[in-house]
Structures are given as C-alpha cells and as structure tokens.
A and B are shown apart, each in its own frame.
Chain A
C-alpha cells in the first residue's frame, strides 16, 4: 500500500450530482476502484464518482462502513440511521468482535492478512455466536481463552471462503452465476467434509418444507431451528410440488421457472433491491448483496422482510 496510515486518512468522494462524502480510507478501500485510485495518487483532493449518485453512494458508504469494523471514526454527516446495516452493526457492537486481549493483534493482522478478501480486510461474523456454539459443545467447567475464540472465528471465516471458492468454481464451470445450496453441499463433500453432507441435506430438506409459503427469510448465523420457529407461516400457498423439487433445481435456475418460489436468483431486474441500491442497478458487486449486510451471522431478533430471492 502506498499510503502509510491506513486507518486515519480521510478520503473525499463526490457523487455524480455533486454531493460530497468524507469517509475513512479503510472504508473507502472497500471499493476496489477507489482503492486503486488511492494507490495511484488520484485521491489527493476529491475522488469524483460520476457513475454513482448521492443516494446510492450514501448507501454504499453505509455498507462499507459496517463491513470494515475497524474503521470507526464515523463522520457525523454520513452516520445516518443506517437502516440497511443496523443489524449487522448492532451484532458487532453487541458481540464485541474482538476481545481486548486479541484486539491489537487481530487489528494488525487484518491489515496485513493475505488478500483472501479483495478489499484487504477480514470480515468476521459476530463472535458471540461462535462462542455460544463452542460452549454448547464444551463441558460446563471448560474455559476458552480469548485467542482461541478469535482463532476459531478466523477459522470459520476461512472455512466459508474455502467452501465458497470451490462452489464458485463449479458454478463457473457450469456457466451458472448463482451459487445454490446444492453447490455448497457438493463443495463440502469434495473438500472432505463428507460427514456434514448428510445432516446438511436433511437440514435443507426440513427447511424447505417448513418454508413452503414463506417469503421472508431471516438468516441467522448461529441459530438453526429458531429460524424455523420464527418464520413459520401457517398458510402454505405454493404447491407442494414446488418444495419437493429435486436438487437438480440448481441447474434450471438461470431461466427462473415462474412456479418456483424457492430458489429464485435475482437475475431479472430485481425491484427488491431498491432498498439497497436505490435504483436497482448499482455497482456490480452490490447487486449480489442479498442481505445488505444485515443478516449474515447476526443474532438479534430484528426480522427484516428479506424478499431478495423470492418473488
């Protein structure tokens, strides 16, 4: 990196309609484009973003800010209610992502971690969920050191990357753009986690059965069955045949079958993304942000209707 101090320098971004946003460099670097510009020295005064309007840019900044937990010098002019990302932020704040003992090392480590994450920072799930799962397994008297907690947290993130990469490779080979649940399970089997495959298939099956008519899915990283309890709707609107669709569903996903209500990849212009990008055609990577950051791994009970994948 060219700039010596990453976490404190402020970058000024100007949207297409002339509004100016000041963000921390670490936050701005979430965008590869901006990151390149910074490195190339184009960021001395203002970075003009002629393809992004103010409303979109504000949302992107909100997202980026919560995606980089160490960039916490929030500029008051942009620190809105952050409706999209409140849950994730709360999850992190409540979970105290890194305990004091490990803060320094993890913060530095994140800055210099191998670039598995293209934005140059590790993104962790809330650690409270991880700890809770650990405690479920361990005997009552067991203690867990702070560095062990952080290590396991990092391992889980690595695990997700690992599986996702493999699933992604398969999708690319098959010319598919969307990673399906089946791809994930397949990737696990391929990478040696065969023991998980059976339970995961059963879990997925049960989940599908209980969400036949449900269009709002909240994703909770640490919880499994509580999802079912909160989300269960008495009415079952879709035909049962939809739910028992075979795993081959994933191969027919690209032309979305009209009768499907389960795995509808938002390849069509998704009106559901309005609350994320403001116009449904934001930056490319943003289109795939199915949760806008407020779902993955959060443990709070806020239940936003997430119509991202269901018509």
Chain B
C-alpha cells in the first residue's frame, strides 16, 4: 500500500486490515468471474485468458484491462478507461 503512491506518508492501523479483507473479496470476485468463463469454455483449468475475459466483462475492473492485456497482445481502446484513470500510467 505504502509503495503504491508517491505521496502516501502515513496509514492508520486499521487501513491495512480493511484492505486485507477487501483484497480477499476482490480475489474472490475476480476468481469467480474468471471461473465462469472457464466453465463456459467447458474447461476445468482456470487460465489467464479467463481472468482477462472476466476483467473485460466487468466495468469496475477496467483499471486492470491494461494489466491483463499486456501479455496477450490485445490492446484495449483507451476510451474504455474513463474515470478509472486515477493511477498514472
């Protein structure tokens, strides 16, 4: 958390705890969505492409689009990321 921001100086004691739970929820949601893509393909192994598809299909995961599409070679349109461009790219 601290390393992610340039100006982040201090973090309260509870913030990481909230984050740990939030990350759990995040992982659960992303995994679940990716798994649904896996099932649609009648497969049993969750692949990176499934994760990428889940990211594409979910609005709130737009900030991840660039991250999952990097190795895939498929560049999504910059217009897809509107107000999620909070972090500098």
Contacts and interface: CB of A to CB of B under 8 A. Distances in A.
A141 B22 contact: no
Given A143-B44, A290-B11, A138 B31 contact: yes
A74 interface: no
A116 B23 CA distance: 18
Contact of B1 (A151, A152, A160, A267): A160
A250 B11 CA distance: 11
Interface in A2-25: none
Contacts of A150: 48
Interface size class of B (residues with CB under 8 A): 35 or more
Interface in B63-78: 63-64, 67-68, 70-71
A242 interface: no
A79 interface: no
Contacts, number: 222
Nearest to A139: B35
Contacts of A224: 20-21, 24
A136 B20 contact: no
- Most B-side CB within 10 Å, residue of A136, A167, A168, A284: A168
A262 B31 CA distance: 33
B12 A148 contact: no
Given A166-B86, A180-B15, A151 B51 contact: yes
15 contacts: A116-B87, A133-B24, A133-B27, A134-B27, A134-B31, A145-B46, A156-B23, A159-B26, A161-B87, A179-B15, A183-B15, A199-B21, A222-B24, A288-B10, A296-B16
Interface of A: 67, 105, 109, 114, 116-119, 123, 125, 130, 133-134, 136-138, 141-145, 147-148, 150-152, 154-169, 172, 177-181, 183-185, 188, 191-193, 195-196, 199-200, 203-204, 207-208, 217, 219-224, 227, 250, 253, 262-267, 284-285, 287-291, 295-297, 308-310
User: Which 7 pairs of residues, A with B, have the shortest CB-CB distance?
Assistant: A309-B13, A161-B4, A192-B60, A181-B14, A178-B10, A143-B45, A147-B48
Interface of B: 1-32, 34-35, 38, 44-48, 50-52, 55, 59-61, 63-64, 67-68, 70-71, 84, 86-89
